[in-house]
Homo-oligomer: A and B are copies of this chain.
Amino acid sequence: MSESPQALYKKILEISKEATVLASISGILEWDQETYMPPAAIGLRSQQIEMMAHLVHKHRISPRFKGALAKLIDLQTGTIAYDTLSQEQMAALREWRRDYLKTACLPAAFVKKLASTTSQALHAWADAKQHNRFRNFQPHLEKILTLLRKKADLLGFQEHPYDALLDLYEPEMTVGQLVPLFGRLKIALMTLLKNTQAKPRAHDQFLHQHYPPAAQMRFGQLLLKAMGFEAENSRLDQSMHPFCSGLAPSDTRMTTHIHEEIPMANFFAVLHEGGHGLYHQGLPEEHFGSPLGESVSLGIDESQSRWWETLIGHSYPFWQHFFPLLQEEFSEQLGGINLDTFYQAINIVRPSLIRIHADEVTYNLHIIIRFEIEKALIEGTLKTKEIPEVWNEKMREYLGVEPQSDSEGCLQDIHWAMGGIGYFPTYTLGNLYAAQLFETFCAQHPNWESRLHHGDLAFIRTWLEEKIYRFGRQYPPTELIQRATGHPLSEQPYIAYLTKKFNGI
C-alpha cells in the first residue's frame, strides 16, 4: 500500500524537524563560544561544531529524506503531482527541494576542500589585516575564487556565475536585477552625500565620554523590553561582535558589545539585533522545523534589523520618547543636552573608511564598492592583485575618502576570507526592502510619529508580523515585498526617505 501525500509530508517534516533541532544545538554552541566559553575550550568547541554540522548535513541529504520528498515533488522539474496538499505545504515542498538540490549537488570532497581553504584563508586574512600586507592574503583569495567559480558551476546558473552564489543568501536575486538597481542607487546616494556635506556639521563630543557599562546594559534591556521582548523567551549578553541567535521562537538570544566611550554603538546594536530577534520570534511556531518556520533570506532578515536600528531607532519621534529616559540613566553626560542636538548628533553624515561605522547615507556606497569588485572577480575581469588599487579608487570616487592602508581598506571585512562572496549585496537589499516597507507602513499609519512619540512600539511589531514574520519562506523575498507594499522592489522609497530626512536636518 502506497503512503498518502499527508503521511509522506509528515515524514518529510519529521526528518526536517530533526535536522532543525540538531542545527539549533549548533546555534547554542556558537552562542556559548562568543559569550561564556572559557577560551581554552576552543579546540573542543571546533570539534563539537564540526560534528554537529556533519550530522545536520547527513540528515538533509539522507536517502530517507530524498525518497519521501521525491514522491511528492519532482526533483528535476519541481512539479507537484498532488492537489490535496495545501498552498502552504506546496510552498514548503518547493523550499525543501531547493535546499536539497543545493546541498546534494556539492560533492563531500569539494565541501571539505572549500572548508579547509577558507579556514586557512581566515588565519591568513587576520594576519594580513594586522600587518597590513594584502599580498599575504591574495593567494588565499585566489584559491577561494577558483573554488567559488567551481561551486557556481556545481550549483548551476542561467546568466551569471555570481547569480549562483548570490542565490544562496538571497533566493532568486540576480546580477541582472542588481546592476541597474545599484547603479541608480549609487548616483542618487552620491548626489545626496554631496548635498549633506555642503551643510555645517553637528557636534557629537558629548556622545564620546565615559558611559558606565552596567548602565549601558540597563538601557539596552529597557530598549528590548519596549520592543516587546520578555525574559521568559529571550536574553541579552555581551560578546566581541553583536549577533542574534534566533534558535527558536522560544529561545531568542541577542548580544551586544559595550564600548565605554561609544554608547550609541551599543544601543544601535541592541536595536539592530533586536530587529533580527523579533523576526525570529515572530516566525510561526507551528511550522518549526519546516521552511515555513524559517527566515526567508539574509536581505529580509537585514531589513528587519535595519528597520529598528535606522528607520525607527534613528528617528525623531523614537527619541522624543526615549531620550528623556536616556538622560535619566546618564544625567551627568546628557543632562545639559537637548533633543534636537542629540538627534542631529546621531544622524551626522560623515564619509569614513570603515563600513560598519557608516551612516545611513554612505553605508550602501561601501556595499556597492564590494559588489562591483566581487562581481568582477568572479567574472575574471578583475585580478586579485588589482583589488587594493581599485578599492581605493572607488572609495575616492564614491565617498571622497581614501584609505592610507589596506587594513582600513580592502582587508577590513572578514566575508571574502570566509568564502562569502555574494553576501554583501544582502546588506543593501535589506535597507531597500526596509525603506519600501516603511513607506507603506507610514501610509497605513499616518499617526505613527505621534504613537511612537508616546512610546507605543507594539503596533509596529504587529504590522511587521502581519506583513513579514508569519510567512516564513512561503514567498521568495521580492514577492514578499511586492505583496507587502503593492509594488516591485525599487530604490525610490529609500532615496525619498533619505532625501526628506537629511534635507530636514
A: residues with CB less than 8 A from B are 18, 21-22, 24-25, 28-29, 32, 36-41, 43-44, 47-48, 51-52, 55, 231-235, 237, 247-248, 250-253
In order of increasing CB-CB distance, the 7 nearest A-B pairs are A41-B251, A40-B233, A40-B250, A41-B250, A38-B233, A40-B232, A44-B248
> 11 A-B Cβ contacts within 8 A?
A25-B25, A25-B51, A28-B28, A28-B29, A36-B36, A38-B235, A38-B250, A38-B252, A38-B253, A41-B233, A55-B55
Given contacts A38-B233, A231-B38, A235-B38, contact A251 B55 (CB under 8 A): no
Contact assessment for B51 and A18 in the assembled complex, using a CB-CB cutoff below 8 Å: yes
**In the complex, how many angstroms separate the beta carbon of A34 from the nearest chain B beta carbon?**
13
Contact assessment for B36 and A235 in the assembled complex, using a CB-CB cutoff below 8 Å: yes
Chain B contacts for A40, CB-based, 8 A: 232-233, 250-251
Given contacts A18-B51, A51-B18, A55-B55, contact A24 B36 (CB under 8 A): no
Chain B contacts for A250, CB-based, 8 A: 38, 40-41, 43-44
Given contacts A28-B28, A28-B32, contact A21 B38 (CB under 8 A): no
Chain B contacts for A51, CB-based, 8 A: 18, 21-22, 25
Chain B contacts for A253, CB-based, 8 A: 38
Chain B contacts for A21, CB-based, 8 A: 44, 47-48, 51
Contact assessment for A48 and B24 in the assembled complex, using a CB-CB cutoff below 8 Å: yes
Chain B contacts for A52, CB-based, 8 A: 25
- A51's nearest neighbour on chain B, judged by CB, is B21
Chain B contacts for A39, CB-based, 8 A: 232-233
Q: Of residues A38, A231, A251, which shows the largest number of chain B Cβ atoms within 10 Å of its Cβ?
A: A38
Chain B contacts for A41, CB-based, 8 A: 233, 247-248, 250-251
